[in-house]
Structure 1
Amino acid sequence: MAMNALRNLSSTDAEMSGAIARLSSGLRINSAADDPAGLIISEGMRAQIRGIQKAISNAQDAVNMAKTADAALDEVQRLLREIRAVAVHAANSGVVDSAQLQADQADIASAIQSINRIADQTAWGTRKLLNGTAGVTANITNITNVLGAYFGGTFSNLPVAAGSIGVNVTTAATQSTWTAATAYAGTATLGVGSFVLNGYTFHITATDTLADVMEKINNQSGNTGVVATIDSTNHLVLKSTEYGANFPITLFDPYNKFGAATNVTGVNAQAVVTVPTVQPDGTTAATTAAFTGGLRSGDSGLKLTDTYGNTITLTPAGGGATGSFTAGQLTTGNLLFQIGANWDQNVAFSLPSTRAEVLGSDVIPNKSLATIDVTVTGGATEAIKIIDAAISQLSQIRGRLGSFQKNFLESTLRSLNVTEENLTASESQIRDADIAAEMMRMTKTQILKQSGMAVLAQANQDPQLVLNLLRGG
């Protein structure tokens, strides 16, 4: 009887010790013996939770880095706007003298130095962001067929890898071309009249020959984007100065000097471009994508763009005929962000160089922002073209960076916070003690322990009574 009471008391004592351990630690599982299966699941969740907490910190660091880069790019764009204003002033050649041009050029040179300084010095810690080491650089080796190229780091939804750029022109670009139906031989005059070419009105006098009309058109080619020639059969031939459908020839001929009005357009080049990319399994493989010329308003039919904003600008020799060639080489230096708790949850982003020799390099052969000179004839006009291209290039970079920050990093942060919350709740359900239940259990064991000790004391009295009887009471 006493042994039975002692056994029950020992069991109650062990249960009470467990309850005290759970209440003091707040954990239901204090050792593997408490719940082996629960411990295995809980430890896996704890590792995930800690990894997610660090991934949240990583993603926030990435957001701050993106803000740093965007602030630097914003300053570069401000400088480009200032340079453009100076170039527009320099283009006013009717009133600007050589001293003013020299002052304008000095102002531009100072701004370009600032742009290069920003590109070289913008960093996150010791990691340079805008000098090209954190992005993809396209090095053109085939200058006969390719004027320039820009790759932002993503190609066909895959990260770009280092390697060669292959181009297969499937549709050749053409200029808008029109030939008049009426011929005017030698010194024959056209008679008094007028016509409108691409919104610009030309007047024909009684003594104007076809050669005189051709000269008038060519003198305004900067306004109309059209040049004129006379073919061997004495017909006027009009041709757009640029390639593609964005540069049509629209002729309104109310005096019927050329036989008919017209509205003709050129053809945009189309090509299949092949570059190496990083596959989902980490290997590198050649990937192709379709590029289309003149995709954006004002773009030449020789400026080919894909759906990710990557561009290749071909020369008339490269885009004016179908065929395949190697354009150049890609070098890469992507920024890699670990934005998840597991080894494969990372993302790469590319920030290309914003140095002056890279900006605006795909407009005029062998020229860029670094080479503009408004003191030479036509330099201001070229400068405006190059600066406009540079501004567009910077806008694309900032747009990609902003999209990456908003739609990926900040979205990932929100998702990770929710994941951490739910995973922590699940791990708590397995690992943590139910305090109310444990308090009830402890109260019960306290009562059982007290009653058990009382019963044990009573049970220990029974042998004493027997001994007393044997002694004769």
Structure 2
Amino acid sequence: MGLVLANNVSSLNAQQNLTRSSNNLAKSVERLSSGLKINRGADGPAALVISEKQRAQIAGLEQAIENSEKAVSLVQTAEGALNEINSLLVKVRSLALDSANAGVNDADALAANQAEISNALDTINRIANNTQFGTKKLLDGSAGVTGTATDADVTVLKATSDTAAGTYSVTVDTVAERAYVDTTTALAAGTLAADETLTVNGVSISLNEGLTRDEVKNRINEFTSQTGVVAEDDGAGTGIRLRTEAFGSDASISVVSNQSGANSAGFTTSVETDSGVNAVATIGSNQFTGVGNVVTADTGVTKGLTVSLAVDPADSTLTVSGAQGNVSVTNNALQFQVGPNANQTASIAVDRVNPSSLGVGVAGNQFASLNDINVTSAAKAQDSIAVIDAAIDDITNARGTLGAFQQNTLESTANNLRTTLENTVNAESVIRDTDFAAEIANYTRQQVLVQAGTSVLGNANQQSQLVLSLLQ
């Protein structure tokens, strides 16, 4: 190439290479100072897209792990409260067993046991209503499957995770009945002509001469805790009706008096007996036979739903009958976001553990739930033990469900998320992080090129001086 003055191509070439080396050096400095080899889209468009998606996934994984750890804390709070209820039930069972030992207990001892049991049940109820995580209640049913009846004569005692959400009609096909015995003669305005001994369900009740009908009823009702029998006016309002507190085929009554005829309490000297009847109701599309006035669905979409039927206002020995509105079941199960993406959730329903929802519907038992147990007689204590055992089963099953959810769902998921997080961070690091060993080598190379380019550019600019030497 000839010597020219107008254009110094060698200088331009040196400038271009120096600019390129300077830009590469600036990028190398940026990568070394930031620790990232992808700092903007221009550094690697495809790599940036992949990296940002992985960053979002990493943030999601970190939050999902934290969510799982919070969920474990909540489950442990609920399980700890259930553990205390379990301890109380064990104590209540011991008291019931003590009361069943009728040969050594008098009425005062039985009453003392009942008082302590009542106190324990109040505590269980308080734990169920007050246990919460933050402001979220856990054991009162609001964190599980709940039911609401449209008719005041139907009370929803319980719904479980087996109960499908929806609205179900309730129809009483066979009313529940209490066992009862009416007087055969009226003691409307008169008084007892002589002392009388009335034996109700094996308990002797002394009636003094001169008692009026109302006073006879009051005297009999003093022994209700022992007999399970209530005295009230009969249907005509002129005699006395003795009826059991409990409904159902396991409720029975036997009455015998040592006096009969006019101006006696009105019962015969022959033993009169009666038994109750269990309710039969259709819930949704299936018919179920209850225990007393409590009906539990054991199949179909309503499985686990338990309802109680109210007393017929016109007859205290019967429950209401016919169509009784609807029950709406809502699933309020606790839901946890345990994954980094949408709809990666886990849920668990925590059943209501109030005494009225524990030990419900024990077959062959006079008590409808734990809330109704009574140990003031040996027979009642025996039935109470069965209900308490059922309540213990309810609580231990709930604890087992929570424990399995914690271990097999929350903790296992968290462990898997930690492994996934580690691998995802590693993948993102390969794409985005600076390899300092390689980049230091590149930095040194670019630095040398800039220094050499600067020197070469200076020499290229000196080429024009050669033309002047020719003009001398």
CA distance in 2, matches of 1:163, 1:327: 6
Residue 97 of structure 1: how far off its partner (Å): 0.3
Whole-angstrom CA distance in 2 between matches of 1:386 and 1:141:
29
2:91 to 82, 95, 101: 82
Q: For the structure 1 residues 408 and 274, does the alpha-carbon distance in structure 2 shift closer, same or farther, using more than 3 Å as the test? A: farther
Is residue 463 from structure 1 mapped to residue 464 from structure 2 by the alignment?
A: yes
Contact 1:62 1:409 in 2 (8 A): yes
Deviation at 1:48, TM superposition (A): 1.1
Residue 161 to residue 126, structure 1, CA distance change in 2 (3 Å):
same
Report the CA distance shift for 1:107/1:345 in structure 2 as closer, same or farther (over 3 A). Answer: same
1:379 is matched with which residue?
380
Does residue 17 (structure 1) correspond to residue 26 (structure 2)? The answer is yes
Cα gap change, 1:307 to 1:148, in 2 (>3 Å): same
The answer (yes or no) to whether the contact 1:165–1:330 under 8 Å persists in 2 is no
SS at match of 1:378: helix
| Correspondence for 1:396 | 397
Could you tell me how far apart the structure 1 residues matched to 2:83 and 2:27 are? 63
| Counterparts in 2 of 1:372 and 1:139: CA distance versus 1, 3 Å | farther
Is residue 49–residue 420 contact of structure 1 (8 Å, CA) maintained in 2?
A: yes
Q: 1:163 aligns with which of 144, 162, 167?
A: 167
CA distance in 1, matches of 2:455, 2:162: 79
1:340 counterpart SS class: coil
1:133 aligns with 2:132: no
SS of equivalent to 2:38: coil
User: After superposition, what is the alpha-carbon deviation per residue over 1:193-242, rounded to whole angstroms, capped at 9, x for unaligned?
Assistant: xxxxxxxxxxxxxxxxxxxxxxxxxxxxxxxxxxxxxxxxxxxxxxxx99
Distance 2:325 2:405 in 1: 30
In the TM superposition, what is the alpha-carbon distance from 1:166 to its structure 2 partner? Answer: 9.4
Specify the code of the residue in structure 2 equivalent to 1:164.
Y
* SS of 1:330 mapped into structure 2: strand
Amino acid corresponding to residue 16 of structure 2 in structure 1: R
In 2, the alpha carbon distance for the partners of 1:424 and 1:152 equals 42
Following superposition, the deviation at residue 82 of structure 1 comes to: 0.4
- CA separation of 1:93 and 1:61: change in aligned 2, threshold 3 A: same
Query: Do 1:84 and 1:387's aligned partners in 2 also have CA atoms closer than 8 Å?
Result: yes
Offset from partner CA, 1:84-141 (integer Å, 9 cap, x none): 1101111111221010011101110111111011111111111010011111135689
1:31 to 2:45 alignment: no
CA contact (8 A) 1:140 1:149 kept: no
- The one-letter code of the counterpart of 1:433 is T
Q: Aligned letter for 2:449? A: L
Aligned pairs for 1:183-198 within 5 A = none
Question: Aligned ranges for residues 435-454 of structure 1 at < 5 Å?
Answer: 435-454=436-455
Whether the 8 Å contact between 1:140 and 1:148 is mirrored in structure 2 is yes
Distance, in Å, in 2 between the alignment partners of 1:165 and 1:385 is 31
Q: Distance in 1 between matches of 2:28 and 2:461?
A: 28
Read off the aligned partner of 2:361 and give its amino acid letter: D
Q: Does 1:331 align with 2:340?
A: no
| Cα distance in structure 2, aligned partners of 1:367 and 1:456 | 101
Within 5 Å, give how 1:261-300 maps onto structure 2.
Answer: none
The CA distance in 1 between the partners of 2:60 and 2:126, in whole Å, is: 38
Tell me which of 64, 67, 87 is aligned to 2:73.
Answer: 64
- The question of 1:153 aligning with 2:157 is answered no
CA contact (8 A) 1:52 1:341 kept: yes
Question: Is residue 433 of structure 1 aligned with residue 441 of structure 2?
Answer: no
**Does the CA contact (< 8 Å) of 1:149 and 1:311 recur in 2?**
no
Residue type at the aligned position of 2:350: L
SS of corresponding position for 2:74: helix
Question: Residue 47 of structure 1 corresponds to which residue in structure 2?
Answer: 56
For residues 80 and 415 of structure 1, the distance between their equivalents in structure 2, rounded to whole angstroms, comes to 38
TM-score, scaled relative to structure 2:
0.63
Q: Describe the superposition over 1:45-79 as per-residue Cα deviations: whole angstroms up to 9, x where unpaired.
A: 11111011011000000011111111110110110
Query: What do residues 409-442 of structure 1 show as CA deviations (whole Å, max 9, x unaligned)?
Result: 0111011101111111111111112211111111
- Aligned residue in 2 for 1:122: 131
CA distance in 1, matches of 2:162, 2:28: 58
Per the alignment, residue 261 of structure 1 pairs with none
Secondary structure of the corresponding residue to residue 335 of structure 2: strand
Unaligned stretches of 5+ residues in structure 1: 168-240, 243-272, 276-287, 294-301, 316-324
Output the amino acid matched with 2:353: T
Q: How does 1:311-322 map to 2 (within 5 A)?
A: 311=304
Measure the CA separation in 2 of the matches of 1:326 and 1:82.
40
Distance (Å, rounded) in 2 between the aligned partners of 1:82 and 1:361: 19
- Superposition TM-score, scaled by structure 1 size: 0.63
Tell me how many residue pairs correspond in the alignment.
336
Measured at CA, do residues 49 and 59 of structure 1 come closer, stay the same or move farther in structure 2, by a change above 3 Å?
A: same
Supply the AA of the counterpart residue of 2:17.
N
1:412 aligns with 2:413: yes
Using the alignment, how far apart are the partners of 1:22 and 1:454 within structure 2?
26
Equivalent position of 1:95 in the other structure: 104
Q: Structure 1 residues 78, 452: closer, same or farther in 2, change over 3 A? A: same
SS of 1:405's partner is helix
- Shift in CA distance, 69/89, structure 1 to aligned 2, threshold 3 Å: same
Find the structure with the greater CA-based Rg. 2
- Given that 1:52 and 1:420 are in contact with CA atoms closer than 8 Å, whether structure 2 keeps it comes out as yes
Q: Is the 8 A contact 1:5 1:456 kept in 2?
A: yes
Distance 1:312 1:28 in 2: 61
The equivalent of 2:350 in structure 1 is 351
CA offsets 1:298-332 (integer angstroms, 9 cap, x no match): xxxx9886899x647899xxxxxxxxx99954233
Query: What is residue 109 of structure 1 aligned with on the other side?
Result: 118
Give 2:108's aligned amino acid.
A
Instruction: Give SS of 1:13's match.
Output: helix
- Shift in Å, 1:28: 1.2
Letter matched to residue 352 of structure 1: D
Give the aligned partner of residue 190 of structure 2.
none
Q: Identity, % of aligned pairs?
A: 40
Contact 1:134/1:335 (8 A) holds in 2: yes
Per the alignment, do residues 442 and 118 of structure 1 end up closer, same or farther by CA in structure 2, a change over 3 Å counting? Answer: same
Q: 1:413 to 1:433 in 2, by over 3 A?
A: same
Give the letter aligned to residue 134 of structure 1: A
Give, as a single letter, the amino acid of the residue that structure 1 aligns with 2:63.
Answer: K
1-side partners of 2:417 and 2:131: how far apart?
29
**Matched-pair contact (CA < 8 Å) for 2:141–2:351:** yes
Per-residue deviation at 1:346? 1.4
